Chains A and B, each alone.
Chain A
Amino acid sequence: MKRILNVPRTTFILVLFWLFTVPTSVFSWNWGFDTQDVSAVTHSGATDWNALQFNQVLLHASTPLGPQASFQAVLGTSLLSTEHNPYLPPTLPDPYITGDVLQFSFQGVIPLPQAGVIDWFAGRRLKQDLTGKILNSRLDGVGLGWYTGRQHFSLQGYYTGLVGIPNSQITMSSQDYLNEMIYYTFGNPFLFQPTSQRLIGLLDYSVSQIFLHQNFSAELLGQYDLGGAGTLHTTYLTLELTGPVDRLTYRFYVTGSALIGPLSTSLSALAGFHASWQFPSQWQLFTDGIYTTRLTPGAGDGFLPITLSGPSDVLTSLTLWNIAKVSLGISSQPLTHMSCGVKLGALFQTTEQNQNSSSAVSDAIYQPYVPYLNAAYMQPYLGSEASLFGSWNPTSEWSFATNLAGFLPYSLAFTDSHWEWLAALSVNLKI
C-alpha cells in the first residue's frame, strides 16, 4: 500500500475527507476575502531607487466546531513586482506569484470545574514570541495551555519545514540563505519550496495584576536546527513587565540568549521598552527603544533572532545584531477611524564591529549586507531617522495606511551620506 507522510493512503484520504466534509456539512461557515495592494518606493545613496508593487488576496474561512472550539483557515496568493535603478537582474521572474496556506488551525477551550480552563490549538498559524522581535512566522504545531485564576501556563511545539519560503521569514544561517537563493533563482513563478527544517518549543507563564494592575510574563523559547550542515541552535529566555500607571502604559522586556554554532557557543542579550502617555485629548506621546549586545567577547558574537527583524523603518537590511535604537513620537486620532503621527529616532551600534564586518558572518550566521554602511566604522552613532505615518478606515471595507520615512546617515558611518527614503501606501479592501 502506498503511503503519504508515512500514513497509509486510504487513511490519509479518509482523514482529509473528514476534515473538509464533516465541518462543512454540520457547521456553518463564515468566509471573506481581503485584498491588499502595497506600493513602496525606496531611495538610497545619490541615485539608487527601488520600486515595489505587492498585491495579495486572502481567503478567510472559519466555522465553529461546537460551543467551545473552532476551525480557521486562510489561503493566500500574492503577486510581487519590483523595479530597480541601477538595474539589477531579477532573481525571480518579475513579476512572480506565490500561493500558500497561511492558516489552518483548530482551537478551543475546555472548562474544568473548579480548576480553571484548558486552551488548546493544533495546525498552522502566525506565531510571535513575547517580544515580537525573535519569532514572527507562520508555523505548524500544537499547543496546550491552562488558565487558573490570574495565571496562565502554556506549552507549544512547532515545525518550520512545511511553510513556503516567502511566508516563513526565517533566515538565521548561511545554509538558510543558500536555500533561499536556490528558490529565488530557480525561475519558476509557481514554485513552492518549504523553508529550512527546525523544531521550535515554547514554555510560557504569565500572571496578570501581580501588583497594582501590573502584569508579568516569562517565556522560554528553544530552536533546534535540523539542517545537515552549519546548524545553529538557539535558546531565549524573556521576562516581561507590562501595565498602566495612571495615563501611562508601558511594556519592558529583557531577553538572554544562547547560540550554539558549529564552532562555538555564545551569549547575548536584548532589552526593549515601549511607553505611551495618553493626554485627555486625542493626543498620545510615545517612546520606545531596543538594545542588543553580545555577552561573550568574540568579535562575531551578537544577538540573533529566528526571523529576520530590524530596528529601522528605512534600512530594512539592518538586523538586531549588536544594535540600539531609541525613538520618540506623538500620534493623534482626529476621527474615530483615523490616526496619524510623527516619530523621530536615533540608531547606534553597540560594539566596534557592525553588520558589514567580516566577523559578523562567522560561525555560519547569515547577516544581510547593509548598503553603504562602513565596515571599518567603530563608533556608536549610525544616524537619525524620522517618519510620518497615518491610517484611515473610511468604511467597514476600505482601509488606507501610509508611511513616509527618512534616514539621515552619519557621514563617518556610511560611505554615502545622502538621505535614504521610504514611501509606502497600502490599500485594503474587504469583500
Chain B
Amino acid sequence: MKRTFAIILFLLYPFACGAQTPAFLDKLLTSPTITWGQASYLVLVGTNNISSEASPQQCFDRAKQLGWAVSDAPERNLNYSQYSFLLMKAFGLHGGMWYTLFPCPRYAFQDLRFKNVLPPQADPDESLTGAEAVRIFDRLSENQPLSQERHS
C-alpha cells in the first residue's frame, strides 16, 4: 500500500512541483521524521508559494519570514501541531473562533482535526513521519485547490 502510494506521488508530483521534487519525496517518504526544512519545502513548493528550484533552507527562511515557522532551526523535527499551523497558513485556511483570535499551532491542530485532515488519534506533540506529512498534505490539497494569488 505504501509502495503504491509512493509510486503515485512519484508520478504526479513532477507536474506540480518541479523536477527535483521526486528525489526529495523519495527521501521524505522513507524518513521516520520530518524536519522544518523538509516540511517548508513540501508545503511552500506544493502550494506554489515558492519556486521548486528553492532549497529546503530557502523555503524555511521564507516560512520564517512569513511567520509560519515556529522554530529557529530548519533541522529540527516537526510535531503535528506545528505542521498543522504551517498548513493552515500556507493554504490560507480559516479556522474556528480560537484560531481566529489566537492563530497558533494549538488551535491549528484542533481545526485540522475537525476538518478530518489529521488522523483522529494524532497527538499534537507527537513527531510525524515523512510519509504521514505527505498524506496529510495530499488530503488537504484534494479539498482545497491551490491558488497562486492566495499569498502575495
| Contacts from A to B (Cβ < 8 Å) | 28, 30, 62, 64, 336-337, 393, 395-398, 430-431
Interface residue SS majority, chain A: loop
Which of these binds chain A: B3-11, B58-66, B95-103, B130-138?
A: B95-103
Checking A30, A336, A395 against B124 with a beta-carbon cut-off of 8 angstroms, the contacting residue is: A30
Q: Are A398 and B96 in contact (CB under 8 A)?
A: yes
Number of inter-chain CB pairs below 8 Å: 34
In the bound assembly, the distance between CA atoms of A430 and B97 in angstroms comes to: 10
CB distance from B97 to the nearest CB of A (A): 6
Checking B111, B125, B126 against A396 with a beta-carbon cut-off of 8 angstroms, the contacting residue is: B111
Checking A28, A62, A430 against B110 with a beta-carbon cut-off of 8 angstroms, the contacting residue is: A430
CB distance from B75 to the nearest CB of A (A): 19
Q: Are B97 and A30 in contact (CB under 8 A)?
A: no
Residue of A nearest to B79 (CB): A28
In the bound assembly, the distance between CA atoms of A430 and B114 in angstroms comes to: 12
CB of B89 closer than 8 Å to a CB of A: no
Q: Are B123 and A396 in contact (CB under 8 A)?
A: no
Q: Are B97 and A398 in contact (CB under 8 A)?
A: yes
Residues of chain B within 8 A (CB-CB) of A337 are: 114
Residues of chain B within 8 A (CB-CB) of A62 are: 123
In the bound assembly, the distance between CA atoms of A62 and B122 in angstroms comes to: 13
Q: Are A396 and B124 in contact (CB under 8 A)?
A: no
Residues of chain A within 8 A (CB-CB) of B123 are: 30, 62, 64
CB distance from B132 to the nearest CB of A (A): 15
0/1 interface trace, chain B 84-107, chain A, CB 8 Å (1 if under): 000000000001111100000001
Residues of chain B within 8 A (CB-CB) of A64 are: 123, 125-126
CB distance from B125 to the nearest CB of A (A): 5
CB distance from A35 to the nearest CB of B (A): 13
Q: Are A393 and B97 in contact (CB under 8 A)?
A: no
Residues of chain A within 8 A (CB-CB) of B113 are: 396
CB distance from A124 to the nearest CB of B (A): 21
| Contacts from B to A (Cβ < 8 Å) | 95-99, 107, 110-111, 113-116, 123-126
In the bound assembly, the distance between CA atoms of A398 and B97 in angstroms comes to: 9
Residue of B nearest to A396 (CB): B114
Residues of chain A within 8 A (CB-CB) of B115 are: 396
CB distance from B87 to the nearest CB of A (A): 14
Q: Are B96 and A28 in contact (CB under 8 A)?
A: no
In the bound assembly, the distance between CA atoms of A30 and B79 in angstroms comes to: 13
In the bound assembly, the distance between CA atoms of A393 and B99 in angstroms comes to: 16
Residues of chain A within 8 A (CB-CB) of B125 are: 28, 30, 64
Q: Are A397 and B96 in contact (CB under 8 A)?
A: yes
Q: Are A397 and B126 in contact (CB under 8 A)?
A: no
In the bound assembly, the distance between CA atoms of A396 and B96 in angstroms comes to: 6
In the bound assembly, the distance between CA atoms of A397 and B95 in angstroms comes to: 10
Checking B98, B114, B116 against A431 with a beta-carbon cut-off of 8 angstroms, the contacting residue is: B98
Residues of chain A within 8 A (CB-CB) of B110 are: 396-397, 430
CB distance from A136 to the nearest CB of B (A): 23
Residue of B nearest to A397 (CB): B96
Q: Are B124 and A397 in contact (CB under 8 A)?
A: no
Residue of A nearest to B125 (CB): A28
In the bound assembly, the distance between CA atoms of A62 and B121 in angstroms comes to: 13
In the bound assembly, the distance between CA atoms of A20 and B138 in angstroms comes to: 40
A-B residue pairs, 7 tightest by C-beta: A395-B96, A396-B114, A396-B96, A396-B110, A28-B125, A396-B111, A397-B96
In the bound assembly, the distance between CA atoms of A161 and B110 in angstroms comes to: 36
Residues of chain B within 8 A (CB-CB) of A431 are: 98
In the bound assembly, the distance between CA atoms of A336 and B143 in angstroms comes to: 13
Residues of chain B within 8 A (CB-CB) of A28 are: 125
In the bound assembly, the distance between CA atoms of A396 and B109 in angstroms comes to: 10
CB distance from B146 to the nearest CB of A (A): 22
- Complex A-B: 23 CB contacts under 8 Å: A30-B123, A30-B124, A30-B125, A64-B123, A64-B126, A336-B116, A393-B114, A395-B95, A395-B96, A395-B97, A395-B114, A396-B96, A396-B98, A396-B99, A396-B111, A396-B114, A397-B96, A397-B97, A397-B110, A398-B96, A398-B97, A430-B110, A431-B98
Residues of chain A within 8 A (CB-CB) of B111 are: 395-396
CB distance from B108 to the nearest CB of A (A): 10
Residues of chain B within 8 A (CB-CB) of A396 are: 95-96, 98-99, 107, 110-111, 113-115
Residues of chain A within 8 A (CB-CB) of B98 are: 396-397, 431
